[in-house]
Structure 1
Amino acid sequence: MGEVLSDAELARSLDGGFVSGHADVNGTRLHYVTGGHGRPLVLLGGWPQTWWEFHKIMPPLAEHHQVIAVDLRGMGGSGKPAHGYDKKTMAADILELVRHLGHDRVDIAGHDIGGMVAYAFAANHPAHTRRIALLDIAHPDERFYAYSLLPRPGRQQVDGDIHAGPGRFLWWFAFNQVPGLPERLLAGRSRDLIDWMCDYLIKDPGSISDRDRDIYAHAYATPDAVRAGNAWYRAFGQDIADEKTYGRVTAPLLGLGGGEGGHMLLQAVLPDKGTDVEVVLVPDSGHYIPEEQPEIVVEHLTRFFV
Structure 2
Amino acid sequence: MRSCGPESGVPVVLIAGWPQTLHAWRAVQEKLADAGIRSIALDPPGLGESDPIGDAANYATPEVARRMAAALALAGVDRFVLVGHDVGAWIAYAWASLMPQGIAGLMLQDAAIPGAFPDGFLSIGNAARVFQFAFNAVPELPERLTRGRERVYLDWLFETKTRVAGAVTAEDISVYMRCYGQPERMSAGFNYYRAVPASIDALNDVAPLTMPVLALGAEFGVGAMMGKVLEPRCTDLKSVVVAGSGHFIPEEAPDVVCRELQALIARTSMPG
Structure 1 length normalisation: TM-score?
0.81
Per the TM alignment, residue 236 of structure 1 is displaced from its structure 2 partner at its CA by: 0.6
Code of the residue aligned with 1:300 in structure 2: it is E
- Could you list the runs of 5+ residues in structure 2 that have no partner in the other structure? 267-272
1:234 aligns with 2:202: no
1:165-191 deviation digits (Å, cap 9, x = unpaired): xxx431111111111222222233211
Q: Residue 187 of structure 1 contacts residue 220 of structure 1 at CA under 8 Å; is this kept in 2?
A: no
Count of aligned positions: 261
Per the TM alignment, residue 288 of structure 1 is displaced from its structure 2 partner at its CA by: 0.5
Give the aligned partner of residue 97 of structure 1: 71
Code of the residue aligned with 1:33 in structure 2: it is R
Give the aligned partner of residue 19 of structure 2: 48
Give the aligned partner of residue 29 of structure 2: 58
User: For the structure 1 residues 171 and 138, does the alpha-carbon distance in structure 2 shift closer, same or farther, using more than 3 Å as the test?
Assistant: closer
Distance 1:35 1:148 in 2: 36
Q: Residue 111 of structure 1 contacts residue 136 of structure 1 at CA under 8 Å; is this kept in 2?
A: yes
Tell me which structure has the larger Cα radius of gyration: 1
Give the aligned partner of residue 2 of structure 2: 33
Q: Residue 176 of structure 1 contacts residue 233 of structure 1 at CA under 8 Å; is this kept in 2?
A: yes
1:198-237 deviation digits (Å, cap 9, x = unpaired): 1111113421011101111221112101110000011110
Code of the residue aligned with 1:119 in structure 2: it is Y
Give the aligned partner of residue 159 of structure 1: none
Give the aligned partner of residue 304 of structure 1: 264
1:282 aligns with 2:254: no
User: For the structure 1 residues 175 and 279, does the alpha-carbon distance in structure 2 shift closer, same or farther, using more than 3 Å as the test?
Assistant: same
User: For the structure 1 residues 144 and 193, does the alpha-carbon distance in structure 2 shift closer, same or farther, using more than 3 Å as the test?
Assistant: farther
Per the TM alignment, residue 266 of structure 1 is displaced from its structure 2 partner at its CA by: 0.9
- Could you list the runs of 5+ residues in structure 1 that have no partner in the other structure? 1-31, 157-161, 163-167
SS in 1 for 2:240: strand
SS in 1 for 2:59: coil
Distance 1:102 1:181 in 2: 41
Per the TM alignment, residue 142 of structure 1 is displaced from its structure 2 partner at its CA by: 7.1
Distance 1:148 1:173 in 2: 8
Give the aligned partner of residue 82 of structure 1: 54
The structure carrying a bigger helix percent of its residues is 2
The structure carrying a bigger strand percent of its residues is 1
1:32-87 deviation digits (Å, cap 9, x = unpaired): 11121221111000011100011111012124332110110110111112142011
Q: Residue 138 of structure 1 contacts residue 269 of structure 1 at CA under 8 Å; is this kept in 2?
A: no
Pairing of 1:188-199 with structure 2 (within 5 A): 188-199=148-159
Per the TM alignment, residue 125 of structure 1 is displaced from its structure 2 partner at its CA by: 1.2
Code of the residue aligned with 1:214 in structure 2: it is S
Give the aligned partner of residue 270 of structure 2: none
Distance 2:118 2:143 in 1: 24
Residue of 164, 183, 189 corresponding to 1:223: 183
Structure 2 length normalisation: TM-score?
0.90
